[in-house]
Every structure is written in C-alpha cells, then in structure tokens.
Chain A
Amino acid sequence: MRDVAVLSFAQSTAARETERNEVEILMPVVREVIAASGLERSRIEFTCSGSSDFLQGQPFAFVMALDAVGAWPPIRESHVEQDGAWALYEAWVKIQTGEVDSALVYGFGKSAAGNLGDILAMTLDPYCVTPLWPHADSIAALQARAWIESGKGSERSLAEIAARNRAAARSNPHAIVSGTETVDELLSRPYVASPLRAHDCPANGDGASAIVLAAGDLARSVSKRPAWIRGIDHRVDPAALGVRDLTRCRSAELAAQKAGVARDKIDIAEIYAPYSHEEAILREALGVPDTASVNPSGGALCAHVMMSCGLQRIGEVARRILSGEADRGVAHAAHGPALQQNLVCVLEGD
C-alpha cells in the first residue's frame, strides 16, 4: 500500500444559494483548496468529483462543473454519482495503482433547486416503494422508531444528540443551524415525522467541498504534517428496508473493521448522521470510544449539503490533524435509505 495523505480541505455551505450556480459556488472552493495544498495546479494529476444530476434536474450537469477546475490542457478526470467521499475513495485507489501521485477531489450539491426529500425517494425500490413517494424524513423515522423499540434509546436520547450537535455547531462558521436549547426545550417541540422532530432532521443546504490528496514523498515535500489515510473502506447493505435489521448498521461495522478504526486511539469522529438516531447507531457500528469528540463541527444535523457532506466529514477530521489539534480520527460517510451504504476513513498525523 502507498501512503496517501490529505493536504488541504476547503468548503462552502449556505442554507440556500439563490444567485450562484454550481460552478460559481465551486470555483472559490477549488482555488482555496489548491492554494492551501502547497501544490501547483499543474502538479495535480487526477480530478474526481461526486454529485447527482437529480439535484439540479439537468442531465450531465456534472460535466459543466469542470468549468471550475480548468480542464485544459486535457486532464485525467472521473466522476461518481455519489457523495464526494466516494470520489475520494476512487482517487485513493488511483493513487494506489501508481498511475498518479496527487488528486483533487470535490463534491457539490444545490438541493434547494428541487425538493430533496422527494428526490431521495428515487433511491428506493422503483417498483414497490418509490411510487409511494415516501419522504426521506419518513424513511428515517421508520428506522428511528425501530431503534427506540429495540430498547437502545429513547426520544430523550435523540434530543440529547441534537442538543450536543447544535451547541457544537455554534463555533463552526459553516454550520447552517446551531442552538443552545436544553434537552427539555427540544422535546417540547412538535414532530416532523414521529419520533423525529425538526432538530432530529438535517439542516439541508447548498454548497461544495474539496480536498487535495498526495502520495508519500510528494505529501512530505509540501506539508509538515499531512493527514495520512491509514485505512479506508466502503460497504453496502441491501437497499430493501424489510430485509435488514434497521437498528444496527452491518455495512458500517464491516467498513470500520476493514479500515482499522479499533487499531489505535480515536481523538475525533465525524459521522455522517443527518438524523439524530443515526449518530447513535453509527457510533456503535464504528466502535467510537466514549472518550472521542464526536461531530465537533455540529455534523450533518447542522449542515447537510447533499453529495458534499461525506467529503466534509473527512475534511473536518483532516483539518484537525493538519493543525495538530488531533492525532487520529475516524470520518464516516453514508448514502442511500436508512444508512444503506457506508464509507469509513481513518486519518492520522505523524
């Protein structure tokens, strides 16, 4: 295995981008991440992006996003119809092959153009479930209900998770919502989809994020303390909600095991949990110790940019390692209904 590190991270989030299109949102983020990487643009040998044309409602919209990157002279480039975290996985594999030593990865999403809760119904079984148009919050509520009935937690535990994330988000300039409410205050609020209340559901927004990766010696030559990717793995559960135990997440358990989360201490965990109960399920699945700081950014509950949010989790862990604030951390990204697909990335400083 080649050593691969995150050199830099940049992000942009807003509750709603009313004026800028995707290229205009992305361009400053790409410029910032390249400038912070210490690599010249021309030294970056591979570009990989994650986005979904369903968010924009335009076929091949991801191709237009290349305007933000500068694709001339022709560049080596790829795209995944997935969160940018999976684009990072592809770039990591590309570096492993030895074909390239560096990569730019980005993810972007502008879900305000459509109705995200409805669009996500397109990820369900097209014959028997999508035609019912279940809203994403309702699918999550089924899982939350199953989790509560299994005895693993209560509505109070959901409010505790939300309160902690909202408080943490106060120091994150990229958070869309934050708050200082007590657990009792949150519990007095109405349901969105029982047992979930508004603060148990994601603060959806528009934005982009980007990361620059580099292999061993190149990373060392430009960075004093790169954030090394010590393990990365992704696994998939069946899409059908009725054939798996919704109260645990086996694909995340397996990915965490393969990525080697438990091999050493964990200072920080950034978990892609757009719904409160998902944080509890994933914390257990990933084996995050109680001593770890979980979602110091406020997580996906406080800023959820579809197709970028998972890459942002990796970026949030990486930037704390780059700055020396943390030594070892785990980042997680998810996709699909009720945590169907999970990616786990373990990062470490020297």
Chain B
Amino acid sequence: MVEPVKSIVTPIRLEYDYTPGRATSRFLRGIAQHRILGQECPSCLKVYVPARGSCPRCAVPTEREVDVQDSGTVVTFSIVRVPSENIHFELPYACASILLDGAGIPFFHVLQGLAPEEVRMGMRVKARWVPTEKLGPTIASIECFVPSGEPDAALETYGEHT
C-alpha cells in the first residue's frame, strides 16, 4: 500500500525594491525635516497628504507643494484589541483617520495619551514627533497623535470626510 501524498511544502519568496514615486518621496523627505508636505490639485484645489502625485478626481498632476499643520481633527477611528507582530503599541489603542489642518483628505495614524473610550469624532489632536536626531524619511517619525486639549471641532468642518 503506497502512502498517499497529503501535503507538500513549496517555499515561495519574492523580494522587491519599493519605489514610492516622486511625490511620496518628497513627502517622506519633508517628514525627515519635521514638515508635513501636501500637494494641491491645480483644478479642484484639494490638498492631498501624503501626496501621490495626482488628483484622482481630476486626473491631473499635483505639483504645488503646501505645508500642512501637524494638528488636526479626528474624522473617524477604530479601537484595536488584536495583537500583531509589527505593532509595538500597548493594547487596546486607537487608530484614527485625522484631517490635518490645511489638508483636503484625512491621514491615518495612531492615537495615544487617552483611554480608548474617550476617543471621539471631532476631537482635536496634535502630532508627537520622535526626537529631532531620530527624524527620518518614514511616517514613524511621527510617533503618534495625542489630544491637543482644544475644544472639539464642529461637524461641518470635517463631516464630508466621515
């Protein structure tokens, strides 16, 4: 009696050199200098952060660079209770979609410095950067966002992004 083959192991590994593109590269270089750079659509004037080089609505290249503030408003959020190997935050923590002041689309980051049940839409937050000597071309140069203590923003200021 021949033992049937029930499973085989076929290792697969592919390696890639990722190119973020010109626009996102400029954004990442800005982050290394403590700046958040967006790009403005010449047609609809929306400011994209991080910029990917085009306005997906108007299909035109975005070239004009705009500094965006490192403060903003929580548009929506989710509480993470499931561990993951590349996450070093203590559970549970909040992931938030944040509309930075001066930006036309929300930006995704982690929210710290408050109990998960205190997180709410409209909450005002600001970036906590890593120490200057540790700044690099990575989104991890912003450690997290924390409450700024300002009064909550009115729904009209962020409602279109919810």
A residues in contact (CB < 8 Å) with B? 17-24, 27, 30-31, 41, 54, 56-57, 64, 66-72, 110, 112-115, 118-119, 122, 126-127, 130-131
Q: Does B8 contact A (CB under 8 A)?
A: yes
- List, sorted by A's number, 30 A–B pairs whose CB atoms are closer than 8 Å: A19-B22, A19-B25, A20-B21, A21-B19, A22-B21, A23-B54, A24-B23, A27-B54, A27-B59, A30-B59, A41-B59, A57-B16, A64-B52, A67-B54, A67-B55, A67-B59, A68-B54, A68-B59, A70-B55, A71-B56, A72-B56, A113-B16, A114-B14, A114-B16, A115-B15, A119-B14, A126-B10, A130-B10, A130-B12, A131-B11
Distance in angstroms from B23 CB to nearest chain A CB is 7
The listed residue with most B CB atoms (<10 A of its CB), out of A21, A110, A115, A122, is A21
Query: B15 and A72: CB pair below 8 A?
Result: no
Q: How far is the CA of A278 from the CA of B56 in the complex (A)?
A: 40
Contact of B57 among A30, A72, A113 (CB under 8 A): A72
State how many angstroms separate the Cβ of A30 from the closest Cβ of chain B. Answer: 7
Residue numbers in A under 8 Å from B53 (CB-CB): 21, 23-24, 27, 67
User: What separation, in Å, do the CA atoms of A72 and B105 have in the docked complex?
Assistant: 15
Contact B15 A24 (CB under 8 A): no
The 3 closest A-B pairs by CB, nearest first: A70-B59, A21-B21, A57-B16
Known: A67-B52, A67-B54. A17 touches B14 (CB 8 A): no
**Which residue from chain B places its CB closest to the CB of A126 in the assembled complex?**
B10
Q: B22–A57 contact, CB under 8 A?
A: no
Closest residue on chain B to residue A31 by CB atoms: B59
Please measure, in the bound complex, the distance between the C-alpha atom of A27 and the C-alpha atom of B60, giving whole angstroms. Answer: 8
Interface on chain A toward B: helix, strand, loop, or mixed SS?
helix
A-B contact sample (11 more), CB < 8 A, given A27-B59, A56-B16, A67-B56: A22-B21, A23-B21, A23-B52, A30-B59, A41-B59, A64-B52, A70-B55, A72-B58, A112-B17, A113-B16, A127-B8
Asked if B69 lies at the interface with its beta carbon under 8 angstroms from chain A, I say: no
CB distance from B44 to the nearest CB of A (A): 9
Q: How far is the CA of A119 from the CA of B16 in the complex (A)?
A: 11
> Do A115 and B14 form a contact, CB below 8 Å, given A19-B21, A20-B19?
yes
Query: Quick one: which of B16, B25, B55 has the most chain A CB within 10 A?
Result: B16
Query: CA separation between A130 and B13, bound complex, in Å?
Result: 11
Residue in chain A with minimal CB distance to B58: A70
| A57 to B54 Cα, complex, angstroms | 22
Which parts of B12-64 form the interface with A (CB within 8 Å)?
A: 12, 14-25, 52-61
Q: A118 contacts B61, CB within 8 Å?
A: no
A41 / chain B contacts, CB cutoff of 8 Å = 59
Whole-angstrom distance between the Cβ of B40 and the nearest chain A Cβ: 15
Contact residues in B for A27 (Cβ distance below 8 Å): 53-54, 59, 61
A23 to B56, CA, bound (A): 10
| CB nearest neighbor in A for B59 | A70
| Residues in chain A near residue B18, CB distance under 8 A | 57, 113
Residues of A within 8 A of B20 (CB): 21
A45 to chain B, nearest CB (A): 16
Task: Contact check, B14 vs A118: say whether CB atoms are below 8 A apart.
Answer: yes
* Segment 111-154 of B: residues with Cβ below 8 Å from A: none
Residue of B with least CB distance to A18: B19
Q: Bound state CA distance, A118 and B15, in angstroms?
A: 10
- Residue in contact with A21 in the complex, picked from B17, B24, B55, B57, CB distance below 8 Å: B24
Report B-chain residues with C-beta under 8 Å of the C-beta of A71: 56-57
Q: Which residues of B contact A56 (CB under 8 A)?
A: 16
